[in-house]
A and B are shown apart, each in its own frame.
Chain A
Amino acid sequence: MLRRNFLKYTSVVVAMALYPNTLQASTDTAPLWIFIQASGGWDPTSFCDPKGYLEKDLDSNLNPTSAAMNRSFANADIATSTSAPAIKYAPIRGRDDNNVDYEFSTFFDRYGSELLVVNGIDTQTNGHDSGRRYMMSGKLSEGYPALSALIAGISMPASPLAFITGGGYDETFGVVAGTRLNNMRAINELAFVNRYDDTRNYFHQNDFERLQAANAARTQRTISNQNLESIKKLAQQYGLAHSGSNELEKLVEFLPDDINTHPDRNNTVFSQGRFAMAGYKAGLTASVNINISGFDTHGNHDASHIPRLARLLKGVDLLKQEALNQGISDNVIFVMGSEFGRTPGYNGGNGKDHWSVSSMMFMGKGIRGGRVIGSSTHGHDAQKINATTLVEDESGIYITYAHINKAMRKFAQIQNDNLITQYYPLSGTIEELNIFS
């Protein structure tokens, strides 16, 4: 049974309570939001807020000591992208998923003019869970959905694949159902649940349709019979999820043929993003959470962390090209962030620990690129900015994830939606920073 039929049969009032914007149409030109979470705490000083070693950090053999901000490059060698306007970045490279070097210059030269970098963000925590939550929801405390879920829930509430998630902070709190997609073979099977092979089905089509109708009817009876809201609500979720099951077939139509054979299929960012782009092209997906882990490098930081950054940057690079190939490059927004940064200097195990200053990067539809907002000292302490002019100002404010989320909500044009104003407002004094335009 199609989802809209289920909604027709279910009490509209009840369905609206579950999915408050179920009857609100989504617009065709709405963008695809790709949120990339570097899980573990990335080190902005190794790419978009570069801090190299200084002369005073060198030992007698001219090797950088553990006091250096970075051992991989000198401060004097910090690079500037060839794009216009230019963006500063760390002049390094790292091995990608195919064990091939990816130069950071490739990314920053290619996309510097589109990139918006926000440096010197005061993350206000160095706990993993709280940091992820704060970055993705704007709230340090529990109870708020991820922005990616809010965008999907508001813009495409009736789609079963509106919000695709590969992990990270992806709490939905019922505003939308998060869906994981990471396995082409399995998706193919699930798009055609009754199919045995290319020519045969398990059940005769009559039996299959009879089975589906009987299931839907029984679900309606189950819902009607429940006196407890706790059970009724889940039975309704069950009914809604099953009513949209045919739409997976549409997704499969738009998946690239080489999804299982592409040489970079092991790049997490790229592979998860491709599923989302197919969902977007099928008119089913509004946002995706991509989680790339391995950034919590308390030991051997340079050897472990820099390749992770390379994979992330290359993944975005590949997705940008994919969007171009798919004809949707003008409609994609990238949001890249991590729960916090990493400590200045190295610990005894050549690692870097948790540090509550970080950066985020944005690019895509409607974002004015080639800009860096916010800054940090050489020791990676956050600098205050003027909330109006966004330039460094000692009497200004520290940028926090609450500011970023407030600005993103406005940019996504969801700040006045009832779901936001009634249930998930960002309360307290949070200055409105005009970050994106």
Chain B
Amino acid sequence: MLLKNWDNRGRYRPNFRGDASQAAGMSLENTAPSQASSNLLQWLAGEIVKDERFAKSSVKIFYKALLGRDALRMPPRDAIEYVNKLEAYQYENTILEDIKEKFIASGLNAKLIIKEIIKSPLYRAISTSSTNRLLSQRLGQAKLITPEALNTKIYDVMGYNWNRYSRQGDIDNNNSANHRLLREDNYKILYGGMNSGSITTRVEELNGVMANIQTRMAIQMSCYPVSRDFYFPADERKLFPYVTTTLEPENEFFIAAIKKNIQYLHKHILGEDLSLGDVELEKTYELFIQTYEDGKSRIAIGGETQEIMDACELHYDPLTREGLWTNRPDERVYRDPNYVIRSWQVVVAYLLSDFKFVYENSAE
């Protein structure tokens, strides 16, 4: 017996040799052959894999990993809302059982589990006609993104990492040792991450501190990274392919270009396919135009500078680190006489701090 040194209460007893009458999660009828006595662990692993419950457990582990929630258990008969709980359990369990069977039939190919879960309504659903609230909680996916994944996502979307030195002096942006969401002495632990030492579990429910980290990220990533994006030619930009730093909403063509860029940003940052005229697109345009008009009026009365704040300015070629003052002064990004750049900064911050950016989700 592999567990020969542990007594019936789970205590370590070096001289204990097991009790065949004890109940156990795995049948003790299947005893190890004598030739396996020197490699009991390998023998046990082989036996576990043969058990159907291994396949089901594997499905549940991937389910938790992909959806961030545990699979339901059969509710006890005296449970509150038993009928609804049972319906939710049966619905989910039927899908997981089906995936388990396919997993076994595939010769235990784990990739199949991932594909099947992602194809299922447990992952993909965006709506339901069921009035069972408990069932509705098991459909679709929404999961707070871990600090590590959020760090990657920020880079993918912005083309620039959220770094402790995210400004033009940052010469080592890709050095993960400086990434705020990866540093324990910065935001990694505060944002619910682990250090596999004193903290071995993740925080999966957003709290006030984590909310502030999201806002801080959105504000800082809409500072220099926005200027940096404007530096590149339009066809090389991540964020602003349809507008310039001086394009103002002065006529219908310019307004159309601004809205087209907003439409693009919703798709690029949030994955939303909005039609022109969609209420969300109009709300974002409203944010842009209000910021623009307010800022421009402050500039007009001398109550606002005509330059973006220095932390957001770009005076070096972001790729070569060459200073731009002498040979290419017009390529610098710092002047904002009509408050256009700052209006776009607010828009980018608005989208980066949105629920749909910081959660993996199938939200409508």
A→B interface (CB under 8 Å):
39, 124-127, 160-161, 165-167, 170, 172, 174, 177-183, 186-187, 189-191, 193-194, 196, 200, 202-204, 206-207, 210-211, 214-215, 217-219, 221-222, 225-231, 233-235, 237-238, 241-242, 244-245, 247-248, 268, 291-293, 343, 353-356, 422
Contacts and interface: CB of A to CB of B under 8 A. Distances in A.
A202 B142 contact: no
A355 B354 CA distance: 48
Contacts of B211: 160, 238, 241-242, 244-245
B140 A228 contact: yes
A167 B200 contact: yes
B185 interface: yes
Contacts, number: 211
B197 interface: yes
A207 B142 CA distance: 30
Ranked 7 nearest A-B pairs via Cβ? A160-B208, A177-B207, A229-B136, A241-B211, A190-B212, A167-B199, A241-B206
B215 A193 contact: yes
Contacts of B185: 183, 186
B190 A353 contact: no
B203 A180 contact: yes
Given A166-B198, A190-B190, A196-B309, A218 B205 contact: no
A59 to B, nearest CB: 21
Contacts of A174: 205
Interface string B143-164: 1100000000000000000000
A218 B282 CA distance: 12
A174 B144 CA distance: 14
Given A238-B211, A356-B10, A183 B355 contact: no
Interface in B178-218: 185-187, 189-190, 192, 197-201, 203, 205-216
Contacts of A172: 205
21 contacts: A126-B11, A160-B207, A161-B208, A166-B198, A180-B209, A187-B190, A207-B295, A218-B280, A218-B350, A222-B355, A227-B128, A230-B137, A230-B140, A231-B142, A231-B362, A234-B359, A238-B211, A238-B355, A291-B198, A356-B10, A422-B80
Interface string B34-74: 00000000000000000000000000000000000100000
A177 B206 contact: yes
A206 B294 contact: yes
A230 B138 contact: yes
B354 A215 contact: yes
B179 to A, nearest CB: 14
B174 interface: no
Contact of B361 (A124, A167, A231, A353): A231
B10 A126 contact: yes
Contacts of B291: 207, 210
B219 A194 contact: yes
A182 B355 contact: no
A355 B69 CA distance: 32
Contacts of B143: 234
Q: How large is the interface on B (under 10, 10 to 19, 20 to 34, 35 or more residues)?
A: 35 or more
Nearest to B191: A180
A219 B351 CA distance: 11
Given A161-B208, A229-B133, A355 B142 contact: no
B125 to A, nearest CB: 6
Given A193-B212, A211-B349, A229-B134, 6 more contacts: A182-B190, A214-B350, A215-B354, A231-B363, A238-B355, A356-B11
B142 A230 contact: yes
A83 B93 CA distance: 60
A189 B216 contact: yes
Interface in B308-364: 309, 311-312, 342, 345-346, 349-350, 353-356, 358-359, 361-364
B12 A237 contact: no
Interface of B: 9-12, 69, 80, 125-128, 133-134, 136-144, 185-187, 189-190, 192, 197-201, 203, 205-216, 219-220, 223, 279-280, 283, 286-287, 290-291, 294-295, 298, 304, 309, 311-312, 342, 345-346, 349-350, 353-356, 358-359, 361-364
B208 A202 contact: no
A241 B215 CA distance: 11
A126 B309 contact: no
A291 B199 contact: yes
A189 B364 CA distance: 33
Contact of B215 (A170, A200, A242, A355): A242
B287 A211 contact: yes
Contact of A180 (B10, B11, B189, B346): B189
A203 B346 contact: yes
B287 A210 contact: yes
Contacts of A180: 189-190, 192, 199, 203, 209
A203 to B, nearest CB: 7
B279 to A, nearest CB: 8
A287 to B, nearest CB: 14
Given A202-B309, A228-B127, A181 B350 contact: no
B201 A186 contact: no
A343 B199 CA distance: 25
Contacts of B309: 196, 200, 202
A68 B298 CA distance: 80
Contacts of B134: 229
Contacts of B140: 228, 230-231
A200 B305 CA distance: 13
Contacts of B356: 222
B125 A228 contact: yes
Contacts of A207: 291, 294-295, 342, 346
Contact of B199 (A166, A221, A355, A356): A166
Contact of A177 (B199, B208, B298): B208
Most buried by B among A194, A196, A204: A204
Contacts of B350: 211, 214-215, 218
A190 B185 CA distance: 14
B355 A227 contact: no
A1 to B, nearest CB: 11
